[in-house]
Amino acid sequence: MDLWVAIAFIAAVSGLAFIAGWKLSLSVYRTRPLLLIECILLLLVFAFGLANRLFWASAIPNPAAMCWSNWLPVFLCFAAGLATHVCALRPSWRGVTALAMLSLAVAFLLQPVMRPNLYPISIAEEADWDHNVCLQSDGASCGPAAAATLLRHHSMLDRAKRQLGWEGRSSEAMMANLCLTSSQGTSSLGLVRGLRLAIDGSRYNVSVASDNPTTWNASGQLPNLAVVCFRGGERNDPVRRLLGTDGEAHAVMVLGRTPQGLWKIGDPAVGWRLYTDEYFRRIFTGEAIYLAKR
């Protein structure tokens, strides 16, 4: 329900944006296409620079932050309204351009809730635990497994099951459902959503950790759920971020550091691992979340 409320609000604003663009295209802006060009440029900046970024979780303390921060449909609808009568486009292309933008707006508006249905993920009926690390049962389920590991570390997993009325035996499946995980992966804001729903009403909040691992211990940001990428060149792939998937990224739980300075990692793929500081910094994407006490 929280997602649909956010989607309905963004849809209403998008409708108003289309009407505003349409009215402007009938006025003086009909012969001045610069506004349409500026709108498209702003749309691209938002799409590839701001969409699905983890900082939205700090700005919007709501499980549906992934939908409340989805303003791409608004820009698309405003641009579609401008395109209806702008003189820079041939009359035969105006309707086609506006319709294409409106179709994209609907697609991006519904993407968070439709993706798990269009690309369903297969999760084992029972979670596999290895020394308190939930092992992923699917190649794309590292996010839910890491989230379940973080909850168990805080002794919140059983409480979450009771509160949510989860009757299945798989904690990984529960978190995959909450995080809107698909066979394409889980977005960072999807992980935030899942954890916020799981700890609702508890003494914890889901907070965004610093992008500098050196500060984690002193600022009480451990353990945390961090996103790493073993193919460094793709860690900030804007296209995958726009589509709301982790892509080549991998979610792990960072427990802390050993006396020797190694990072102790709960990896859903293999269990516990130790990383050198240099290696961890090389693969860390800068995105991490943790459970902070209220």
Round the average pLDDT of the chain to a whole number and report it: 91
- As a whole number, mean pLDDT of residues 149-175 equals 95
| pLDDT score recorded for residue 233 | 42
Residue the block writes with tokens 């394409």? 184
Given a contact cutoff of 8 angstroms between Cβ atoms, the answer to whether 124 and 170 are in contact is yes
Coil/strand/helix, residue 61:
coil
- Preceding amide of 223 cis, omega within 30: yes
Coil/strand/helix, residue 126:
strand
- As a whole number, mean pLDDT of residues 241-258 equals 78
Whether pLDDT at 212 is above 70: yes
| pLDDT score recorded for residue 142 | 96
Whether pLDDT at 189 is above 60: yes
Tell me which of 68 and 88 has the higher pLDDT: 68
- As a whole number, mean pLDDT of residues 246-260 equals 88
- As a whole number, mean pLDDT of residues 246-264 equals 90
CA 256 distance to own-chain centroid: 24
Tens digits of per-residue pLDDT, 88-146? 778 888 889 999 999 999 999 999 999 999 999 999 999 999 999 999 999 999 999 99
Q: How many CB atoms lie within 10 A of CB 124?
A: 15
In the chain, the DSSP E strands lie at 128-130, 133-135, 204-208, 224-229, 249-257, 263-267, 271-275, 284-293
Whether pLDDT at 232 is above 70: no
- As a whole number, mean pLDDT of residues 3-18 equals 97
Whether pLDDT at 32 is above 80: no
Whether pLDDT at 234 is above 60: no
- As a whole number, mean pLDDT of residues 9-37 equals 87
Q: Which two tokens stand for residue 128?
A: 């596999």
Whether pLDDT at 50 is above 90: no
SS3 content of the chain, % helix, strand, coil (to 5): 50, 15, 30
Given a contact cutoff of 8 angstroms between Cβ atoms, the answer to whether 227 and 247 are in contact is no
- Percent of the chain at pLDDT > 70 equals 93
| pLDDT score recorded for residue 245 | 54
Whether pLDDT at 24 is above 70: yes
Going along the chain from its start, the domains and CATH numbers come out as 2-118 (no CATH), 129-293 (3.90.70.10)
Please give the span between the terminal C-alpha atoms of the chain, in angstroms, as a whole number. 25
* Helices and strands (H and E) in the chain: how many: 12, 8
- As a whole number, mean pLDDT of residues 34-48 equals 86
pTM value is: 0.89
Q: Which two tokens stand for residue 276?
A: 């050198």
Distance separating alpha carbons of residues 292 and 280, to the nearest angstrom: 23
26-30, 62-66, 243-247: range with highest mean pLDDT: 62-66
- Percent of the chain at pLDDT > 90 equals 76
- As a whole number, mean pLDDT of residues 7-29 equals 92
Tens digits of per-residue pLDDT, 274-285? 999 999 999 999
How far are the Cα atoms of 190, 200, 203, 249, 267 from residue 245, in angstroms, in the given order?
A: 9, 24, 29, 9, 19
Whether pLDDT at 235 is above 60: no
Coil/strand/helix, residue 182:
strand
